[in-house]
Amino acid sequence: MRLDKFITACTDFSRSQAKKIISKEGVSVGGVFIKDPSCKISDQDEVYLLGRRILLQGARYIMLHKPPETVCTSINDDSRSVMGLLDTDKLENLHIAGRLDIDTTGLVLITDDGAWSHRITSPKKKCGKRYRVGLADAVQDGAVALFKQGVQLKDEAQLTRPAELEILSSNEVLLTIHEGKYHQVKRMFAALSNRVISLHREQVGSIELDETLEEGAWRYLTESEIDSVS
């Protein structure tokens, strides 16, 4: 990696700012001041910027408990973005692996690892997402079997993929889907002439929302949680 690109990856400096610092002998590599921004850096090199060692940050994997009335967009698109809840640098490098509607709460996964998030969001991977659903009316008889075979959504040519429905009470269910169509959970129950009044995502793949996280709180994923996405 070029020295100037390495600096921008490790800091908030722009490429032009990095070049200026390099030209003024503000950067040393292996104890030697470098003035060439195109100098190649290896993983073994010790790079010091203005007397402080800088390190290339590895990929980040974050779990966030989304509150209601927040949106899953970049921080620059909307002041209500969940990204504004994160206390970490370089937010512009992070993206959301599977968005939730503004009124939906629960588990949101955020990362800067594109391949990892693709394994969550790609329909081909059939990654399960479990939701706790509150309904306006009692769930109808036969709903479990109907969801298992697939539901015909309005304006869709094909049935949804088979989904697992667990009835907790007359008006509350757990639903696990393996795709991510637009407003899918709400549309599935609308197809049964019912209405979703609360929606909370509890799990994505094998990753469950940490019960200790309050709404708006977040933490980095454990190694086992990261590795569970394959």
CA distance 98 to 74: 13
String of DSSP letters for 70-101 = -BSS-TTT-TTBGGGG---S-GGG-EESS---
Q: Are 175 and 147 in contact (CB under 8 A)?
A: yes
CA-CA distances (angstroms) from residue 26 to 41, 46, 55?
16, 14, 16
What is the biggest distance separating any 2 CA atoms in the chain, rounded to whole angstroms? 75
Residues carrying an active site annotation:
101
Can you say whether the dihedral through the CA atoms of 101, 61, 202, 160 is positive or negative? Answer: positive
- Return all residues near 125 (Cβ < 8 A) that are at least 6 apart: 118, 119
What token pair was written down for 70?
């927040």
